[in-house]
Amino acid sequence: MNKKVLALTLILLAIPLLTIVPVQAGKGQEKLYFKLYAEGMPDFTTFDRWWQAGVTAHIRGMPWLVLGAFEVTIGEDPPIPLDPGDYSSSQDLNSNTKTTNGEMKERIIITFDGGTLEILAVGKLYNALSLTMYIEGTFVGHGTGALEGVKVAGTISSTIALGGLGLGMTYEGTVMGWPTP
């Protein structure tokens, strides 16, 4: 591959990571700690589309199955358990079949009473398409309905969970505009 094509490819892959900015608190809004944690695994049996071009495998629209702990932490409050039925996600993966590394884009929707939190995460995959997959990246999100005006941003990471059969996905950063009781 010629050096110019390789350089352009690397720049294009970096753009989504460079364009995510931290949450800035608005007038009268406090920036709080935010952590979303979900144990589970990708549903490799259900996806919208799969194809391979050369050594790159592409999967579009693969859901994430919440199979264990699922909770959110806001500020200094204890974690709030969430119902896995209030969670939906769709992942797009591109993975090199030789190195098993690649990229991931994930759209998450979590339904709360009267509103939703919609998150977009982008990251790097290591050991993709296997049960030992590791992910690191960034996320941004916003609220709708009763959560209108809520904004979240931060980093994502994963750890082996569920007895080594799945991942614990951690979305950790800041939230602003979260409603207070």
Supply the CATH number for residue 159's domain.
2.40.350
Q: Does residue 117 form part of some domain?
A: yes
Q: Does residue 106 form part of some domain?
A: yes
pLDDT for 145 beyond 70: yes
| pLDDT tier, 129 (very low <50, low <70, confident <90, very high otherwise) | low
Residue 27 vs residues 30, 74, 121, 180: alpha-carbon distances, Å: 9, 19, 26, 16
pLDDT for 138 beyond 70: yes
pLDDT for 35 beyond 80: yes
Residue 28: the pLDDT is 52
Q: Does residue 80 form part of some domain?
A: yes
- pTM, full prediction: 0.80
Mean pLDDT of the region 61-73: 93
Q: Which domain, by its residues, includes 134?
A: 28-176
Q: Does residue 4 form part of some domain?
A: no
| pLDDT tier, 29 (very low <50, low <70, confident <90, very high otherwise) | low
| Number of domains, the chain | 1
Q: Does residue 10 form part of some domain?
A: no
